[in-house]
Amino acid sequence: MEQIRKFLKNKSILVTGSCGSVGSSIIKYLLEKTECKKVVSLDNNEGELFFQRDKYKNFKNFYVSLVDICDLQSVNKSLMGIDYVLHCAALKNVPICEISPSSCINVNVTGTSNIIEASISNNVKKVIFTSSDKAVSPTNVMGASKLVAEKIITAANIETSNKFKTVFSSTRFGNVIGSTGSVLPIFQNQINNNKKLTVTSKSMTRFMMSNIKSVELVLSSLVLAQGGEIFITKMPSINVYTFAKCVYEIFTNKKSDDTNFKIIGLRQGEKMYEELMYQEELSRSYEIKDFFIVLPNLEIYNELSKKKKFKKYKKIKKVYNSDIENQLSYEKTKSFLKKIILDNY
């Protein structure tokens, strides 16, 4: 992470959705591990901003901004003097977004459009948008909104108004273990209340990553970004039923069996597996040590002249799909989960 620290030294950086799991982890890293000139936490959660401001009151370079990203005028003011924007704000709960599609689209699409406009107006150097595996072949409103947001982030690189040439790129996340709304805190709550752990299916698979890995993905993407790329971190594929068994055994110190779990079936808009890349992207996807990089489509290649830089990297031959990838064994899943719990608790 030394390259990241050097890149961010004496820079001003703003994080949207900074009170969420990923956003707050980024804020923590920026304040404790880098020498940023200024770190701005932007969120519409008044209570959490208050606690965050109190937590980091000894950091003279830390500022909070109570702003809704759907309010362009307020976003524009907040971005004055900012070098880099990490855009983490979003509505992410699949069932809630299914029953409130207008709110989901307003935040995830219109809010992202506001970030783009304000970043260009304020000559921001780089913007990284945090997307989701659900943006690939979406089956729900949340995923579809993230896909549209990815598209407008990529297109922003060639907008005629972008005279300063603000760089816009995206990252695609798998499931961040322990984040708000993720399955780990749900399982923990069920264990604490002596309830059966609810599992969608014994065959469901997901890509999973730690908060620490999500921070590395976003900040490494910020360093590497030239415009229009989608950065995907390599992460393990895990069977959700196996994961549930490991959670039960770690937190109860008891051996699990089928009676500890309740199979509930797919929720509205949910998929049995997740994809972080799809077939159409293979021809423009490359692999480096810890990441896959999906370049913009051919038309935008020509506009940005980015293709040559990536020729030295290895081309990808298959899509990145949690059902196709080898899933972690029970033992490796348990070890993976224990390490994450140790890092976060």
User: CATH number, domain at 280?
Assistant: 3.40.50.720
- How many other CB atoms sit within 10 Å of the CB of residue 203? 11
Is 30 domain-assigned? yes
pLDDT for res 174 = 82
Relative to beta strand 205-209, strand 237-239 is: antiparallel
Low-confidence ranges of the chain (pLDDT < 50): 305, 345
Domain region containing 303: 2-175+211-234+275-318
- Please count the structural domains in the chain: 1
Residue 57 lies in a domain: yes
Enumerate the active-site residues: 134
- Identify whether 185 is part of a domain: no
Evaluate whether residue 306 is within a structural domain: yes
Query: What pLDDT shows up at residue 116?
Result: 97
Whole-prediction pTM: 0.91
Strand partners, 167: 126
Q: Is residue 324 part of a domain?
A: no
Residue 249 maps to a domain? no
Q: Looking at residue 318, what is its pLDDT? A: 85
| 62 is a domain residue | yes
**The predicted structure's pLDDT at residue 345:** 46
Strand order in the sheet with 175-176: 175-176, 205-209, 237-239
* Residue 342: predicted pLDDT: 65
Say if strands 261-263 and 197-199 run parallel, antiparallel, or are unpaired.
parallel
Q: How far apart are CA 160 and CA 166, in angstroms?
A: 12
**pLDDT at 291 (0 to 100):** 87
Within-domain flag for 168: yes
Of 106, 174, 182, 94, give the one whose Cα is nearest residue 141: 94
The pLDDT assigned to 144 comes to: 97
- Angle ∠(340,344,345) on CA atoms, nearest 5: 115
Burial of 101 (0-12, 13-18, 19+ CB in 10 A): middle
